[in-house]
Amino acid sequence: MKKTLDLPNALMLEAKTVADRRRTTLRVIIEHALRRELVELSTSSRVQECPAELNAYGFPVLKREKKNHGRLTSEMVYQMED
């Protein structure tokens, strides 16, 4: 579905910069941000824990959780990037 949004120039430039850095499209960045905001609103009573931790070398490593059954989701990746 196509929609037109009127957003501040500075916000659009920042979003484009993030999209370039992640090697993705502006559409994907906006979709991800909107989904994250909606999830946050629907789960505002629960605190979301980061799915990664830093190893001894300072690199992010996914925590093993039984609830995810070893699956890596794009949401988990985006959380680590933020």
- Residue 60 has phi, psi (to 5 degrees) of -70, 135
Give the pLDDT confidence score for residue 53 in this predicted structure: 79
Q: Could you tell me if 53 and 64 lie in one domain?
A: yes
Within this chain, do residues 18 and 39 fall inside the same structural domain, yes or no?
yes
Q: What is the pLDDT of residues 21-42, one digit of tens each?
A: 999 999 999 998 898 888 877 7
**Residue 56 and residue 32 in one domain:** no
Question: Could you list the residue range(s) of the whole structural domain that residue 70 is in?
Answer: 49-82
DSSP 63: P
Q: Are residues 11 and 42 in the same domain?
A: yes
Amino acid at 50: C
| Residue 52 falls in which region: left (phi positive, over 0), alpha (psi -120 to 50) or beta | beta
Taking the complete model, does pTM exceed 0.75, yes or no?
no
Which residue is listed with tokens 């037109």? 4
- Looking at the 3D structure of the chain, how many domains does it have? 2
Q: At what angle do helices 26-42 and 9-21 cross, to 10 degrees?
A: 100
| pLDDT, mean of residues 39-55 | 68
